[in-house]
C-alpha cells in the first residue's frame, strides 16, 4: 500500500490539536508534507512544532511544489467551498472541516465535482466515532431499536459564545450556534435515519443574549458586533413520518453549562446517547440497559482513519460529500424558515 502525501490548509487550533496529531499517528498510511496558512508565520510555527517539511502562505505554491494526494481543510467556513473546489481540481482527496459550506448550493457543487473527479470528499463530523455512536449503530443493526421514528437532538451551551476567532461574524461563518454546534448532532440524527431529506422543515433562530451581552463562560464577546444566532430550534419531518427536534445554542438561560445529547425513540427500544442507556423490554419486563465499560476513544484519530479508509476505497463511516450536501440544505432551510 503506497503512502498518501497530505497537506493541511489552515493554521488554527483545529489543525494543531486535531488533524495534525491524528495524521501523524497514521504515518503508515499518510505522510504530512505541508502546512499552508495565509499567515505564513502560523504555518511555519505549526510545521516546526510537528516536524513537517514545508510551510506555505498560498495554496497555489502548495499544489505546485508538493502535489499532495490529500488536502485537509481547516479554515473558516467561508473558505471551505473555494478551497475544496481548488483541491478537487488538483485531483486531491479532500477532508474538510464542518460545516460543509455557507450555502446548500456550494455544498452540492462540491459533491458534484468530487464525483466527477472520482475523488473522496468527506466532512469531519467526528462524533460519529464515539463509542456511544458506534454502539447505537450496532444496536440499530441488531434490531434492538426497531423502527426509529423520533429523535430529540440538542447541543446547548448556557453562556458559551466563543470569545475568539470569527464565531460571531456572519459573513465568514454563515451562522452561529446552528452552524457551529447544531450540525454535529444533526449529522448524527440523520445517520440514525439513514440520511433522508426532510419533506418539511420549520425553525427559528434567536440572538437576544448575544446582542444584550453578559457573563461569558468561554471568554468575553462583544455584543455590538454579534451578528449570528445565539440559539436555534427546528423540527424536521420526513417522508416516512419520522421526525427530528433540534436545538442548539451558544447562549441560553438553562441550568447546565454544556449539554449535548440525543434521544432516539424506536418501536422496540429507545436510546439516550450520553451516557448511553437503552430502554426496552426484556424477558417480558421493561428493562433499562447500561454499558458501563464503553471506552473513551480518540475520535479525531478514528475519523481521520475512516477518511483514509474511504480514500483506499474501503467501507467507511466518514460523512460523505452527498451527506454533507443534504445536511447543508437542511441548515439553510432552517435559517430561511419563519422569516
Which residues form the interface with a second copy (CB under 8 A)?
135, 138-139, 142, 144, 146-147, 149-150, 152, 158-159, 199-200, 202-204, 206, 208-209, 212, 214-215, 217, 231, 233-235, 237, 241-243, 245, 247, 252-255, 257, 263, 265-270, 272, 277-294, 337-338
Give the residues across from 181 on adjacent strands.
Answer: none
Cell of 31: 505522510
139 touches 278 (CB < 8 A): yes
Min. distance of Cβ 100 from a second copy in angstroms? Answer: 25
Backbone angles phi, psi at 296, to 5 degrees: -80, 125
Between 14 and 202, name the residue whose CB sits nearer to a second copy: 202
Q: Which is nearer to a second copy, 1 or 283 (CB)?
A: 283
- The nearer residue to a second copy, 105 or 337, going by C-beta atoms, is 337
- What is the nearest approach in angstroms of a second copy to the Cβ of residue 129? 16
C-alpha cell at 105: 448550493
The DSSP call for residue 313 is T
Q: Are 222 and 169 in contact (CB under 8 A)?
A: no
- In the complex, what is the shortest distance from the CB of residue 60 to a second copy, in angstroms, rounded to a whole number? 43
Distance of closest approach, residue 259 Cβ to a second copy, in angstroms: 11
E strand or H helix that includes residue 157: strand 148-157
The sign of the CA dihedral 313, 331, 214, 168 is positive
Contact 46, 21 (CB under 8 A): no
Nearer to a second copy, 197 or 204 (CB): 204
Strand-pair partners of 153: 246, 262
Torsion angle, alpha carbons of 83, 88, 93, 94, to 10? 20
Task: Tell how strand 285-290 and strand 277-282 pair up.
Answer: antiparallel
Cα 263 to Cα 143, 224, 230, 269: the distances in Å are 17, 36, 23, 11
* Shortest reach from residue 267's CB to a second copy, in Å: 4
- Nearer to a second copy by Cβ, of 233 and 317: the residue is 233
Nearer to a second copy, 74 or 242 (CB): 242
- CA–CA distance, 105 with 121 (Å, rounded to integer): 16
- Residue 23 or 299 having the CB closest to a second copy: 299
CB of 320 to a second copy, least distance (A): 25
Give me the least distance between CB of 202 and a second copy, in Å please: 4
d(CA 102, CA 232): 16
Q: Show the CA angle centred on residue 81, arms to residues 174 and 109, nearest 5°.
A: 110
Kindly state the smallest distance separating residue 195's Cβ from a second copy, in Å: 19
Q: Which is nearer to a second copy, 116 or 296 (CB)?
A: 296
Residue appearing with cell numbers 448556557: 158
Q: Which is nearer to a second copy, 2 or 255 (CB)?
A: 255
Least separation, in Å, of the C-beta of 266 and a second copy?
Answer: 6
Amino acid at each position: 500500500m503506497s503512502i498518501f502525501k497530505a497537506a493541511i490548509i489552515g493554521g488554527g487550533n483545529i489543525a494543531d490539536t486535531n488533524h495534525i496529531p491524528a495524521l501523524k499517528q497514521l504515518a503508515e498510511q499518510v505522510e504530512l508534507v505541508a502546512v499552508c496558512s495565509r499567515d505564513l508565520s502560523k504555518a511555519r510555527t505549526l510545521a516546526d512544532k510537528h516536524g513537517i517539511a514545508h510551510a506555505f502562505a498560498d495554496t497555489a505554491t502548495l499544489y505546485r511544489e508538493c502535489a499532495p494526494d490529500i488536502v485537509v481543510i481547516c479554515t473558516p467556513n467561508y473558505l471551505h467551498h473555494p478551497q475544496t473546489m481548488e483541491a478537487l481540481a488538483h485531483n486531491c482527496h479532500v477532508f474538510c472541516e464542518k460545516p460543509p459550506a455557507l450555502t446548500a448550493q456550494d455544498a452540492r457543487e462540491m459533491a458534484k465535482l468530487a464525483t466527477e473527479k472520482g475523488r473522496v470528499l468527506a466532512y469531519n463530523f467526528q462524533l460519529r466515532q464515539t463509542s456511544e455512536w458506534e454502539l447505537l449503530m450496532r444496536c440499530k443493526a441488531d434490531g434492538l431499536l426497531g423502527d426509529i421514528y423520533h429523535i430529540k437532538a440538542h447541543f446547548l451551551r448556557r453562556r458559551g459564545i466563543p470569545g475568539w476567532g470569527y464565531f460571531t461574524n456572519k459573513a465568514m461563518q454563515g451562522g452561529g450556534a446552528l452552524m457551529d454546534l447544531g450540525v454535529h448532532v444533526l449529522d448524527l440524527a440523520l445517520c440514525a435515519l439513514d440520511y433522508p431529506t426532510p419533506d418539511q422543515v420549520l425553525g427559528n433562530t434567536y440572538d437576544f443574549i448575544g446582542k444584550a451581552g453578559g457573563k461569558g463562560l468561554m471568554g468575553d464577546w462583544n455584543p455590538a458586533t454579534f451578528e449570528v444566532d445565539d440559539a436555534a430550534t427546528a423540527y424536521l419531518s420526513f417522508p416516512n413520518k419520522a421526525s427530528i427536534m433540534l436545538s442548539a445554542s451558544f447562549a441560553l438561560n438553562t441550568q447546565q453549562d454544556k449539554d449535548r445529547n440525543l434521544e432516539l425513540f424506536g418501536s422496540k427500544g429507545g436510546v439516550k446517547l450520553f451516557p448511553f442507556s437503552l430502554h426496552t423490554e426484556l424477558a417480558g419486563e421493561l428493562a433499562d440497559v447500561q454499558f458501563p465499560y464503553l471506552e473513551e476513544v480518540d475520535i479525531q484519530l478514528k475519523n481521520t482513519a475512516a477518511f483514509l479508509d474511504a480514500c483506499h476505497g474501503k467501507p467507511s463511516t466518514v460523512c460523505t460529500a452527498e451527506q454533507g450536501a443534504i445536511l447543508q440544505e437542511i441548515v439553510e432551510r432552517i435559517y430561511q424558515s419563519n422569516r
